Amino acid sequence: MTVAAVEAQKETDALAGINGKASGTIEELTEKLVEQTKALRESVQVSISSVSELNQVTYTLSKGQSLSASAVADLILKYPELAAQIRKTTDGWIFEGQILEKIRQAKLKKAIDDLKAEGDSTRAVAMESLKRIQFYGQEFQSITTFAEARDKIKDIEKEITEEQKKNAS
pTM confidence score: 0.53
85-119 burial string, b = 16+ CB within 10 Å, else e? beeeeeeebbbeeebbeebbebbeebbeebeebbe
How many CB atoms are closer than 10 A to CB 169?
A: 4
Q: What is the pLDDT of residue 123?
A: 80
| DSSP state at residue 36 | H
SS3 94: strand
Q: What is the pLDDT of residue 158?
A: 84
Q: What is the pLDDT of residue 10?
A: 60
Report residues of the chain scoring pLDDT below 50.
none
Task: Give the span between the Cα atoms of 57 and 95, in whole angstroms.
Answer: 10
